[in-house]
Amino acid sequence: MTSLYACSTSTSKSTVNQDYCLDVKNEKANFIGVIVADGIGSHFKAELSSKFCCEKLKEILEKVENVNEIDFYIYFKAINNSLLEFARKSSEFDFDKINKAQSLGTTLLCALELEKEYLFAYCGNGSIWHSNGSFNKFSPSRYLPWNSINLLNPHSNEQDGREALYRYLSITDAQCIPTIIRLSKNPLTPGDIIIITTDGVYSNDQVQIGKDDNEAIWIRSEESMPILYGVLSDFLKQNPKEATNLDLESSINIFLEDLKIKNYMHDDTTLGVIISGKTIDFHQQFLEQ
């Protein structure tokens, strides 16, 4: 059983969506993946940057001939250099007249499924969720599954009470060095689910932490996550063995539309999902019992 993978993006704003996403498949090197990027909202033409960086990373990854050759340090630097060249030659604006420090900045996140492991690279914020395939087999009293963990530590500091990125891709000399994570795959059922998102879905630097009147610490969970788990659970209950990547993309779009309906979409919102073959087998067995 092969894995399913898809991504999608949406926005509640009347202006342009500054996020972008793509999936990637390399049959020769035998890997699949998803890429998401979040153009920095305060930057000029950030939507061009997120689109360019996603497309450039996809182009690079599709040319890889052996997974042992993958080097995200080199890729991110090359993409950043290409972004600068793109900006210099753009017909949409005068490169010499724009504020370079406030233009074309974007985050960039990528998740690849290799034969025996997952490989992640990111620069910026957002989230990378590793979920056990049994995430929806908890009792109703468990509002959120404990076996779904965010692996992404945001590249941000606090400035004036808000998060400020110190690593991202741009046309300046900002740091574009990615953090890289390798994660062994679960070789047994119930397998793994990988979810990467922009901060419109979730990011640790935007989760509120405080104390109540009794000085007890509380941590707020984003409203989007229970909705996402619910949509993925519904998808896996409907003959997942026969599902396609387009079916998974449709489910992601249902999640995005639900966020709009419930007024939980406050920003551009983008995610990519990989569901392992082991997870598909695990859920298919409940339909065949």
**Residue-wise pLDDT tens digits, 124-143:** 999 999 999 999 999 988 88
Q: If we measure between CA atoms, which residue out of 272, 231, 250, 225 comes closest to residue 113? A: 272
Q: What is the pLDDT of residues 204-228, one digit of tens each?
A: 998 877 777 787 776 666 789 999 9
Question: Domain range spanning residue 175?
Answer: 4-282
Q: How buried is residue 85: exposed, middle or buried, by Cβ count under 10 Å (0-12/13-18/19+)?
A: exposed
Largest CA distance in the chain: 66
Asked if 104 and 80 touch (Cβ cutoff 8 Å), the reply is no
Mean pLDDT confidence for 150-157: 98
Distance CA 98, CA 27 (A): 41
pLDDT of residue 212: 76
What residues contact 234, with CB distance under 8 A and at least 6 apart? 251
pLDDT of residue 206: 86
Asked if 256 and 10 touch (Cβ cutoff 8 Å), the reply is yes
For 142-205, give the DSSP string.
-SS-TTEEE----SEEEETTEEEESB-B-SSS-B-PPEEEEEE---STT-EEEEEE-TTT--GG
**245-261 vs 224-236: helix axis angle to the nearest 10?**
150
Q: How many CB atoms lie within 10 A of CB 41?
A: 12
CATH number, domain of 57, equals 3.60.40.10
Residue 256 phi, psi dihedral angles, 5° rounding = -65, -40
Task: Evaluate whether residue 270 is within a structural domain.
Answer: yes
Task: Evaluate whether residue 101 is within a structural domain.
Answer: yes
pLDDT of residue 143: 83
Which segment of 44-53, 83-92, 212-221, 232-241 scores lowest on mean pLDDT?
212-221
**224-236 vs 277-288: helix axis angle to the nearest 10?**
60
Residue 218 gets the label, from left (phi > 0), alpha (psi -120 to 50) or beta, of beta
Task: Evaluate whether residue 34 is within a structural domain.
Answer: yes
Distance CA 143, CA 61 (A): 38
Place of tokens 């598909």: 280
Task: Evaluate whether residue 289 is within a structural domain.
Answer: no
Q: What is the pLDDT of residues 34-79, one digit of tens each?
A: 999 999 999 999 999 999 999 999 999 999 999 999 999 999 999 9
Q: Quote the tokens at residue 279.
A: 């997870």
Domain count, the chain: 1
- Whether residue 104 is predicted with pLDDT greater than 80 in this model: the reply is yes
Confidence of residue 17 (pLDDT cuts 50, 70, 90): very high
- Is the torsion defined by CA of 40, 70, 66, 113 positive or negative? negative
Distance CA 204, CA 238 (A): 32
pLDDT of residue 218: 63
Is the pTM for the entire model greater than 0.85?
yes
Task: Evaluate whether residue 61 is within a structural domain.
Answer: yes
